[in-house]
Amino acid sequence: MQFSTFKNNLDNWQGTSLIFGISDKDIENQLENIRFIIDPKILLKKVNQKKFKGKKGETLNLEFLDQRLETLTIFGLGESTAIEINDIKNYLANIIRTIVDKEEKTSILLPRELINSEEKIKLLAESVRLSAFKDNRFNNKRDKKKILKEIEFLNLKEFENISFKETEYICEGVELARRLVAAPPNSLTPIEMSLEASKIAKDLGLEIKILGKKECEDLGMGAYLAVAKGSDLEPKFIHLTLKSKNPVKEKIVLVGKGLTFDSGGYNLKVGASQIEMMKYDMGGSASVLGAAKSLGNIKPDGLEIHFIVAACENMINGSAVHPGDVIKASNGKTIEINNTDAEGRLTLADALTYASNLKPDSIIDLATLTGAIVVALGNDVAGFWTNDNSMANDLKTASSQVGEALWQMPLQKSYKDGLKSHIADMKNTGPRAGGSITAALFLEEFFDSSIKWAHIDIAGTCWTDKNKGINPSGATGYGVKTLVQWIKNKQEANK
C-alpha cells in the first residue's frame, strides 16, 4: 500500500472515493469543505435524511451515480475539543476494512487542526495500512489480491513533501510478525523460523549466526535443550546482528521467546488451556524478528542491535523432560522442573545468558510467558518488569508514542521465596498467586545485574479473536512498534 499527499488546490482533485471526518457541531458549514467535489446542499439533504449527527465513531456511507465522486464515507469525530488521535486511528481502521476489497484508491480529508504534525500524519497512515492487513495464505482466497493500493491525504500543503518510507518499513515489520504468529505449527517450525531470519539478514545486510543442537550443547544450554528434547524437530538458536556504520555508542539485545508449538509437555495443556492456539507461543520471537526487519531498513546510527531467538517445540516423546527433573542452564544454575508447561522461561534462561555474554548496555525480552498477566491486565495491555527506572520511563514513552498499551509491574523480591527448591538452585515456577511476577524474577537470575533489562509479557496482546482498532482479527504484531520507537528514541538521545 502506498501513501501520498495531494499537492494541488482541492478544486483540481480528481478522485472518486473520499473519507471525510467532521465534528458534531455546525455540520452544514463543515460540508462546505467538500464543495470542490459535490454540492453541499445535496449532501446536507442526505445527511439529514440519514439522521447523521457527527457523534464519535458514527459513519455514513453514500454512493453517487450521477456525480464524479462515486463513494463518500463521512465519519463523526464527536466534540471538537475532545478528539484524540487514537480515536481517529480506530475510526479510520473500521472504515478501511469495509473498503479494502472495493476501492483501488481512496482519499482522506480531516480538519487541518487534527493533523498538524508529520508524526500524526504518519500514525494515521500506519493505522490505515495495518487495519487493511489480510492473511489468506492458508485458505481459498490466497490468490486474491487486495484491491486497495493507495491512500491519499488531502489538504496538507504544509506537509506536501512528507516521506512515508519509514512508516512503510514499520508496517512491514508488524506484518511479518503477524504472519509468523498466524502460521500453523506445521508451517512455521524452528527451521522455518531460522530461514525467515536468514532472509532478513540476506535482504537487509544483517549478520546472522544459527546454532544447532551440537553448538548449543557446547555452550551448556541445558535449559533450552531440555525443552527441545521432546520434539522430533531440531532446535535452532538464532542470532541476528545489525551493525552501525559509525562508532557504536550503545549495544542493545532484543530477545524473543520462540516456542513454535507448546503442548505443555507432560504437564499437558488440557481443558480450557487452548492447546490448539499454542502456535502463537512464539509471539515474542515474531515481534523481535519484525523489529529486525523494520530496523534493518531504517538502519539506526550509533547502535549495535542484536536479535536473539531460541526456537524449538515443547512436545512429548520418550526423551521429553519429566516433571521433577533437574537441569543446568548455561550460567551454571540448576533448575528443578516442577511444571513442564513453564517452558518458555527455560528457553529464555539460556537466551538471556547468551545475551548477557555479549556485554550489552541493555536487554529487552518479549514473551507470551504467563496466563497470569492476562488475568491481571486483560488482552489490551502488556505488562513489563525492569531493573532500571530510566528504562521503565523510556519504554512507557515509546509505547505511548505508538499506541501500544504497556503497564509496569513490580519485581517484588519477597516473591522469590516461591522459587526455592530443596534439591536445586531454584524451581521453574512458584505459587499460583503472582505467577507473572515470579516468572520475571526467575528470568532475572540469568544475566549480569549491571545490565539494564526489561521483560515484556505479551501473552494477552499478541492475538485478538475479533477486529479491534487497527488490528484485524488474528495476530496483532504487538511489540514491534514499541521496540522500533524505543530504538529510534535511543538514536536521537545519543546524537
DSSP letters along 190-228, please? HHHHHHHHHHHHHHHT-EEEEE-HHHHHHTT-HHHHHHH
Cell of 467: 477486529
| Helices 118-131 + 85-99 axis angle, to 10 | 40
Give the amino acid at 73.
Answer: T
Q: Strands, DSSP E only, in 243-302?
A: 250-262
Give the amino acid at 210.
Answer: I
Sign of the alpha-carbon torsion through 401, 402, 405, 410: negative
Quote the Cα angle for 139-141-147, to 5°.
145
Residue 322, Cβ density class (10 Å: 0-12 exposed, 13-18 middle, ≥19 buried): exposed
Measure the CA–CA gap between 465 and 283, rounded to whole angstroms: 15
CA 4 vs. chain centroid, Å, equals 25
| Helices 165-182 + 190-204 axis angle, to 10 | 170
**Would residue 269 show up in a list of annotated catalytic residues for this protein?**
yes
Give the active site residue among 269, 299, 396, 468: 269
Measure the CA–CA gap between 407 and 399, rounded to whole angstroms: 10
Give the active site residue among 89, 178, 179, 345: 345
Cell of 308: 536473539
Sign of the alpha-carbon torsion through 411, 344, 417, 444: negative
Measure the CA–CA gap between 358 and 447, rounded to whole angstroms: 10
Residues with Cβ within 8 Å of 287's Cβ and at least 6 positions away in sequence, in order, are 177, 256, 366, 458, 462, 477, 478, 479, 480, 483
**Would residue 345 show up in a list of annotated catalytic residues for this protein?**
yes
Active site residues: 269, 345
